[in-house]
């Protein structure tokens, strides 16, 4: 997970959504067809979330709160799977 702090509401929503995370369903959609292997999945999720966080901080109309929460859910879940 990036070291920057995220708003409490985003993180609370992500933690709440962890129970519903299904890797086989959610990763392909979040990665938009990319198929990184092993640790590259986590690296790619970190990069995508960082881009999304930058858009949020800039107040960009491209920022999508739902996608941001989904990326955070995937990051938390993938970290758990790897025991991080």
Residue 78 contacts residue 22 (beta carbons within 8 Å): no
Q: Residue 56's CB: how many other CB atoms inside 10 A?
A: 17
Tens-binned pLDDT, residue by residue, of the chain (84 aa)? 554 789 999 999 999 999 999 999 999 999 988 878 877 999 999 999 999 999 999 999 999 999 999 999 999 999 998 886
For 20, phi then psi, to 5°, come to: -95, -5
In order of 12, 18, 35, 59, the CA distances from 62 in angstroms are 22, 25, 24, 8
Annotated domain spans of the chain: 8-81
Q: What is the pTM of this model?
A: 0.90
């Amino acid at each position: 997970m990036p070291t920057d702090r995220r708003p409490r509401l985003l993180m609370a929503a992500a933690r709440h959504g962890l129970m519903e995370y299904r890797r086989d369903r959610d990763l392909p959609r979040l990665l938009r067809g990319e198929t990184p292997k092993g640790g590259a999945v986590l690296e790619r999720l970190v990069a995508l979330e960082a881009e999304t966080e930058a858009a949020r901080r800039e107040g960009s109309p491209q920022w999508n709160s739902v996608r941001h929460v989904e990326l955070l859910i995937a990051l938390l879940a993938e970290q758990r799977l790897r025991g991080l």
